[in-house]
Amino acid sequence: MKEEKNDFLMKKWRTQLSKGVLEYLVLTLLQKSRHGWDILQLVRSFLPVTEPPLADGTIYNILTRLKKRELVTERSEIFDGRLRRYFILSVKGIELLAEMKKDWEKIIISFGEADKLAEL
Partner 1 sequence: MLSSEDDLSIEDIKKNYLTILSLELIKRGIAEEKTKEILDEVTISLSEFMEESNIETLDQLEENFGSVDQFCENNSLNRNREAAIGQYISLGLIITLLTGIIILGLGLLIIYPFNRIFSNQEYIHLLTQDLVVENGIVGSLFGLNMTTWIIYQYIKDRYSRWDIRERIKLVLLILYWFIFVLWIVMVVSYYTSTYEIIDVTLNYGYSNLIIEGAIRWFSIGVFLGTTAALFTFKYVKTKNTSESHKKDSFIFDKLKSIWIYFVISVFVFPYPGIGVFVVLIGISILFYSKITTVTWLMGSVSILAQLVTMLFMLEAKAGGYVEDTIIFGIKLNIINNSGNAFLFIAIIIICVIIVWSVACYYKLDRKRKRSFPKLKVPKKKLDIVPILLLIIIVVATLGTKPQYLVLEGQGEVEMVTQEQMVAEYRYHIPPVKGTVYISLYTYLEIFEDYPPGFVYVQEGNWSIRVVSTSFPSYELNLNGSLNDASSHMYYFDTYQLGVTYLKLQINGSGSMMLRFEYNHRPYHPYVPVHSIHWESAVPWFPTPIESGILIITLLSVFVRFESLQIGKRKEIEHIREK
Residues that bind partner 1 (CB under 8 A): 15, 19, 36-37, 50, 52-58, 60-61, 63-65, 68, 82-85
Residue among 57, 48, 40 nearest 18 (CA):
48
CB of 43 closer than 8 Å to CB of 34: no
CB of 32 to partner 1, least distance (A): 20
Q: Which is nearer to partner 1, 2 or 52 (CB)?
A: 52
Q: Which is nearer to partner 1, 84 or 94 (CB)?
A: 84
Q: Which is nearer to partner 1, 12 or 106 (CB)?
A: 12
The DSSP code sequence of 63-100 is HHHHHHTTSEEEEEEEETTEEEEEEEE-HHHHHHHHHH
